[in-house]
Amino acid sequence: MEYEAVIGLEVHAQLLTRSKLFCGCATVFGSPPNTQVCPVCLGMPGVLPVINEKAVEYAIKMALATECRINERSVFARKNYFYPDLPKGYQISQYDEPLAEGGHIDIETADGKTKRIGITRIHIEEDAGKLLHGEGDGEASLVDFNRAGMPLIEIVSEPHISTPEEAVSYLKALRDILLYLEICDGNMQEGSLRCDANVSVRPVGSKEFGTKTEVKNMNSFKFLKDALTYEIGRQISLLESGERVVQETRLFEPSTGKTRSMRSKEEAHDYRYFPEPDLLPLVVEQEEIEAIMVMLPELPAQKKERFMKEYGLPSYDAGILTSSKRLADFYEECVRLFEEPKTISNWIMSELLRLLKEHNISIEETPIGADRFTALLKLVREGKISGKIGKEVLEEMFATGKDAQTIIEEKGLSQISDESELLTIIDKILEENPENVERYRAGKTKLIGFFVGEVMKATRGKANPQLVNKLLKERLDK
C-alpha cells in the first residue's frame, strides 16, 4: 500500500520589539540572566499587564503579509500549566478568538509547481523563561526569566503540507516574510524562530486523517527535514506491521536523527483556558489596519515576480536573489551600475555566494560593495581580463579588500590581446605538435580545443580566448 503524509506546522516567531509584551523590560538577546525582569514578567501578586502596541502592529503586519483576515476583536486567554520557567503559572496567549485567521502562502514544490499552504490562524502570546541545566557545580538547574514575557506570534498552518521538503519550503517562505517585514530576526539556533509539526500518514486516496503525533525540537531547516523524514517512516512501518500510531508528543534528537516519545495523550496538559481578566479584548480598527497595510514593504514573492519581469531573469535566479532582502538590494544596486542583469545574476550566484559561504559570512558583511563588484564585471566585458581570470581577481578582492584594477596591475593579469605576441606563442605550439596539426588538417577540427588549451596554459590563462580562436583557425586552415 502507498502512504502519504499529512503535515501541519506551528511556528513561533519572536517579535523584534524593544520591550516585552506586557511590561517595559528590555528584550536584548544574551544579556546576563535575570537582568531583564520586573514584577510584571516575574508574576508578582498585584501587578497588571499592559499590551505592547508595537507587538500588535508587528503581528498585524505578518497577518496582512500572509493574507489573513484580521479580527476586529480578539481575546487574550490564560493557558494554565505549571513549569519552573513560567513564574505566573499561566501563559497569556490567545485561544478561541485569535488576532487573525484564514491566510495562506504559496510555495514551490519539487516539480516546480506552486502549492498554496493555508494558514489557520496567527495569534499573539508571551514566551516563557528558560531553564539552564547542569549549571553551578554541574548539578543545579537554574532559571533565567529574561525571556519570560517576550512577545511571540504563533503561526498555525493547515495540514496542507505533504512532504518534508514542502515543510522546509513553507518554513523558509515564512522566515523570508518575517525578515522582509523586519519583525523577527529569524534565528533558529537562538530560538527566535521555532517550529513544531503535527504529522500523520494515511493510505493514498484516503480522505480520513491518520492518528497524528506532534514533533518538537527542530531548530534548523535540516533538523525539520530529518525529523519529518524519520517520523513519517516510523509511522508507515508501524502501520505496515499491523500496529497503530499512538497519539503523543515526540522529541527530535539531532544526535540520532530519530524522534522519541516525550508524553502520551493521557499525560497531555489540560490547560483550562479562560479569558485573561486583566486585559480588555484587543480591538483593531479598520483604519489602523489600513495604516499598517500601506507601510508593508515589497514581499519576497512580489519581488521575485518583479525581478523576472523587470530584469528578464529565470525563476531560479529570481528566487535565489530575492531569498534575502539584502541580497536583492545588492543585486539591484549592481544593476543600476552595470546594465547586464543576467551577467550580474550569474556572477552573484556562482561566484559571490560561493565566496560568502567559503568565508562563512552573510551578504551584509561582504567586503565587496556593488561598485567594486560591477567594476570587475566591466573589466571582463571590455576584454581587459578573461572571465576565468576575473574569478581569480574576485577571490583576491575578497581576501585583500583591494579593487580589481589594482590587483590586475599588481599581478600582471591583463589579458593578452596583442596579435603578434599571441602569434609567436601559437606558432611555437603548432611547431611542437606537428601530429595534431596534421590530424586537424585531415578533418579532426575538434582539436582546436586542444590548441586553445595549450595557448591558455602557455599564457597562464591571460590570452584573449576569442582572439586565440580566431588566430589559430587562420593558421591551421591556411
Long-range contacts formed by 335-341: CB under 8 A, 24+ apart? 335/311, 336/370, 337/370, 337/371, 337/374, 338/374, 338/377, 338/378, 340/377, 340/381, 341/311, 341/312, 341/313
Whole-number Å distance between alpha carbons of 467 and 421: 11
> What minimum distance in Å lies between the beta carbon of 247 and Zn ion?
37
> What minimum distance in Å lies between the beta carbon of 131 and Zn ion?
19
Identify which of residues 44 and 399 has a Cβ nearer to Zn ion in the complex. Answer: 44
Beta bridge partners of 249: 214, 263
Identify which of residues 14 and 345 has a Cβ nearer to Zn ion in the complex. Answer: 14
Identify which of residues 35 and 466 has a Cβ nearer to Zn ion in the complex. Answer: 35
Q: Are strands 258-264 and 274-275 parallel, antiparallel or unpaired?
A: unpaired
Instruction: List C-alpha distances in Å: 205 to 216, 236, 475.
Output: 28, 15, 69
> What minimum distance in Å lies between the beta carbon of 276 and Zn ion?
17
Q: Which of 412, 342, 423, 409 is nearest to 377 (CA)?
A: 342
Identify which of residues 25 and 394 has a Cβ nearer to Zn ion in the complex. Answer: 25
Q: What is the side-by-side order of every strand in the sheet holding 76-80?
A: 90-94, 76-80, 274-275
**SS3 state at 94:** strand
> What minimum distance in Å lies between the beta carbon of 73 and Zn ion?
27
Whole-number Å distance between alpha carbons of 324 and 326: 5
> What minimum distance in Å lies between the beta carbon of 145 and Zn ion?
8
Identify which of residues 25 and 335 has a Cβ nearer to Zn ion in the complex. Answer: 25
**SS3 state at 348:** helix
| Cell (9 digits) for 197 | 509539526
> What minimum distance in Å lies between the beta carbon of 32 and Zn ion?
15
Identify which of residues 40 and 143 has a Cβ nearer to Zn ion in the complex. Answer: 40
Binding site for Zn ion (CB under 5 A): 23, 25, 38, 40-41
- Using N-to-C axis directions, what is the helix angle for 164-181 and 53-65, rounded to 10°? 130
> What minimum distance in Å lies between the beta carbon of 38 and Zn ion?
3
Identify which of residues 38 and 423 has a Cβ nearer to Zn ion in the complex. Answer: 38
